[in-house]
């Protein structure tokens, strides 16, 4: 969905910019986002929905109620962001249900859920709105994981998550695990901060074919120890992958780069496990699997 500035939004509604700002203060709708320079940007879908409702009711409060009830067009990250900043759990759930009617679970996560949380984090870092959005989203992802069908493949994947609490990267790690589960793989996410000696039982039990490093809270030495411990148990054929730049891109051929989006990353990892040729990711060079810690 597009965004427009205050003057353009006011012109679409046939009111002055001051009137539009007064509606925002009084009703909390339409709700703009702010640029880094402090300028308002309105979601075009909200403005179009409000214009249609206003033409029917000729009353601003009624029009806003109608526009909110109908929704403001297809489910989008901007609509979900608006629900989050108003702390509206039911509305947030309804928006994602709308998205699931036209998108897969993975694309709903990539295109609606996580961009909405990230937008709030960029605008109001550390604020209650971001905290609410983060907690609601991690609960939603966990619920989606619980209803995922049982694994249909023998391979297991361990995700070493080095993200911090309330870090958006933790949500991306959850999204990746969900995408892998939906491709029939057995998965387990382990905090990268855990003592490698305490991971031994889990690694022996799962005997993973691949490990994925994600998050930015661990240094290279710590990640190297994790990989060494995993290879000691699963052997040198273990596939080592990076998701969303957990490892610095030094140019060395040490890992398979999965990219930054869960759907793409899951497809690439399945291709690795199946021995199929991989397609390039950004940057154009593909880094094949090799020994990270020897």
Q: What is the rounded average pLDDT for all residues in the chain?
A: 86
Q: Give residues with Cβ within 8 angstroms of 286, minimum separation 6.
A: 256, 257, 278, 280
The model's confidence at residue 278, banded by pLDDT at 50, 70 and 90, is low
Q: Of 286, 204, 289, whose CA–CA distance to 241 is shortest? A: 289
Q: Average of pLDDT values for 114-143?
A: 94
**What tokens were used for 20?**
């539009």
CB 43 within 8 A of CB 34: no
The model's confidence at residue 165, banded by pLDDT at 50, 70 and 90, is confident
Ranges assigned E (strand) in 77-199: 156-161, 186-191
- What pLDDT score was predicted for residue 71? 59
Provide CATH code, domain 151-274: 3.40.50.2300
- Distance CA(257)–CA(246), nearest Å, equals 10
Which segments of the chain belong to CATH 1.10.1240.10? 74-147
Which segments of the chain belong to CATH 1.10.1660.10? 1-73
pLDDT greater than 90 at residue 142: yes
We find that the CATH architecture of domain 74-147 is Orthogonal Bundle (1.10)
**What tokens were used for 89?**
């759990």
- What pLDDT score was predicted for residue 222? 85
Higher pLDDT, 90 or 51: 90
CB 174 within 8 A of CB 141: yes
The model's confidence at residue 290, banded by pLDDT at 50, 70 and 90, is very low
- Distance CA(33)–CA(203), nearest Å, equals 45
How does DSSP assign 44-110, residue by residue?
HHHHHHHHHHHHHH--HHHHHHHHHHH-SSS--HHHHHHHHHTT-HHHHHHHHHHHHHHS-HHHHII
Q: Of 156, 220, 143, 230, whose CA–CA distance to 186 is shortest? A: 156
Q: Average of pLDDT values for 208-223?
A: 90
- What pLDDT score was predicted for residue 288? 38
Which segments of the chain belong to CATH 3.40.50.2300? 151-274
Q: Of 182, 164, 153, whose CA–CA distance to 262 is shortest? A: 182
Tens of pLDDT, residues 173-199: 999 999 999 999 999 999 988 877 788
Provide CATH code, domain 1-73: 1.10.1660.10
Q: Average of pLDDT values for 116-143?
A: 94
Q: Which of 56-70, 82-96, 124-138 has the highest mean pLDDT?
A: 124-138
Q: Average of pLDDT values for 213-228?
A: 88
pLDDT greater than 50 at residue 163: yes
Tens of pLDDT, residues 65-106: 888 776 555 678 878 888 898 898 998 998 899 889 888 999
The model's confidence at residue 54, banded by pLDDT at 50, 70 and 90, is confident
- What pLDDT score was predicted for residue 234? 87
The model's confidence at residue 294, banded by pLDDT at 50, 70 and 90, is very low
């Amino acid at each position: 969905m597009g965004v427009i500035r205050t003057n353009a939004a006011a012109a679409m509604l046939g009111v002055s910019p001051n009137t539009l700002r007064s509606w925002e203060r009084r009703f909390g709708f339409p709700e703009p986002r702010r640029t880094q320079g402090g300028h308002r940007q309105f979601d075009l879908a909200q403005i179009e929905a409000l214009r249609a409702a206003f033409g029917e009711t000729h009353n601003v409060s009624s029009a806003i109620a109608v526009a909110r009830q109908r929704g403001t067009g297809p489910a989008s990250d901007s609509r979900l962001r608006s629900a989050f900043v108003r702390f509206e759990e039911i509305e947030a759930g309804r928006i994602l249900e709308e998205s699931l009617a036209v998108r897969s679970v993975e694309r709903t996560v990539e295109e609606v859920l996580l961009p909405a949380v990230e937008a709030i984090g960029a605008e109001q870092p550390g604020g209650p709105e971001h905290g609410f959005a983060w907690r609601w989203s991690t609960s939603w992802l966990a619920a989606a994981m619980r209803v995922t069908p049982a694994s249909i493949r023998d391979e297991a994947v361990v995700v070493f998550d080095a993200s911090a609490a309330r870090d958006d990267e933790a949500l991306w790690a959850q999204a990746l695990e969900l995408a892998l589960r939906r491709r029939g793989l057995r998965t387990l996410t382990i905090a990268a901060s855990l003592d490698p000696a305490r991971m031994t039982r889990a690694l022996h039990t799962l005997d993973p074919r691949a490990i994925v490093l994600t998050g930015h809270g661990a240094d290279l030495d710590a990640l190297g120890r994790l990989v060494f411990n995993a290879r000691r148990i699963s052997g040198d054929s273990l596939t080592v992958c990076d998701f969303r730049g957990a490892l610095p891109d030094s140019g060395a051929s040490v890992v398979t780069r999965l990219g930054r989006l869960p759907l793409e990353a899951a497809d690439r990892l399945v291709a690795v496990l199946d021995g199929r040729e991989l397609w390039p990711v950004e940057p154009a060079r593909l880094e094949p699997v090799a020994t990270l810690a020897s």
